[in-house]
Amino acid sequence: MISPSRKPKLSSTLACSIRRCLLAVLPVLSLHGCAVTAQLPTLQPVSVLVTHIMARAIAVETLISRVQQRLDTTHPLHKEVVSVGGLGPVRLGMTVQEAANAAQVSFVVSPTTQSEVCQYYLPEVYDPDKAAPTAPIDGLGLMVVNDQVIRIDIWPGSPIKTLSGLGIGATVEDVEAAYDEQIEVIPHPYTDGSYLTLTPDASGSNLYSLVFEADSDGKITQFRTGQLPAVTWAEGCS
């Protein structure tokens, strides 16, 4: 049995022991708490996450655009319009090389050309996969004499239109309405259709003309712009 006189001393000893234990454990707990805190992931600001999402979206959009460009087989010149002086950047009077540079395409002699003096040049389709031209396209030809573009023909199947929005399939009435009294209509020399000729009144423009050929139903089957008299040649280079 412990005597009353020893109880205070025992209590004091026990309190000191507990105090020592706490002093020994607290630094460990403190270090352990720091370690746990260091292992927690750092959350990024919302603005950073939005930036990452936008960057990925732009990358996907760029990829889709490139795929669409590869699927788009429309020739660059098909997006141009015909005027009395030429087709888009290709102007009457240019050499073949000048026309190629202006349109950023290449031209080849038509395999059906029989004359060595007068020849038709056709624009080629560009293959982006092979980085090279492949084959001529249909519906468009440059009449060339002495290495000079003197006429540009638009044939059936071409989507090309004039500045007034006229193209293959338009009617005689459409042409007359677009150009009012500047149009001269005469019978076609080889068919039951007609010739519609536009000769501008502007100074210097009377060297060029725009000619539409219509069938017996009054539908435009082909048209061309060119220098006189070449633009009136129904046989082309034949």
The more confident residue out of 181 and 233 is: 233
Lowest average pLDDT, out of 35-49, 187-201, 224-238, goes to 35-49
- pLDDT at site 135: 58
Q: What is the pTM of this model?
A: 0.66
The contacts of residue 135 (CB under 8 Å, 6+ apart) are 124, 125
pLDDT at residue 111 is higher than 90: no
Tokens of 183: 């149009």
Question: Quick one: average pLDDT of 206-213?
Answer: 90
CA dist 161 and 87 (Å) reads 10
User: Hey, where are the domains in the chain?
Assistant: 76-232
**Do 172 and 196 form a contact (C-beta atoms < 8 A)?**
yes
Lowest average pLDDT, out of 75-79, 197-201, 203-207, goes to 203-207
- pLDDT at site 46: 67
pLDDT in tens, 55-105: 777 776 665 555 444 434 456 788 899 999 999 999 999 999 999 999 988
The H or E element spanning position 183 is strand 183-187
pLDDT tier, 113 (very low <50, low <70, confident <90, very high otherwise): confident
- pLDDT at site 152: 97
pLDDT in tens, 144-186: 999 999 999 999 989 999 999 999 999 999 999 999 888 999 9
Of 235, 210, 230, which is closest to residue 220 (Cα–Cα)?
210
CA dist 74 and 125 (Å) reads 9
pLDDT at residue 38 is higher than 90: no
CA dist 212 and 120 (Å) reads 19
Tokens of 82: 């015909």
Of 132, 143, 163, 161, which is closest to residue 231 (Cα–Cα)?
143
DSSP-derived 3-state class of residue 227: strand
For the chain, give the percent of residues with pLDDT over 70. Answer: 64
- pLDDT at site 195: 93
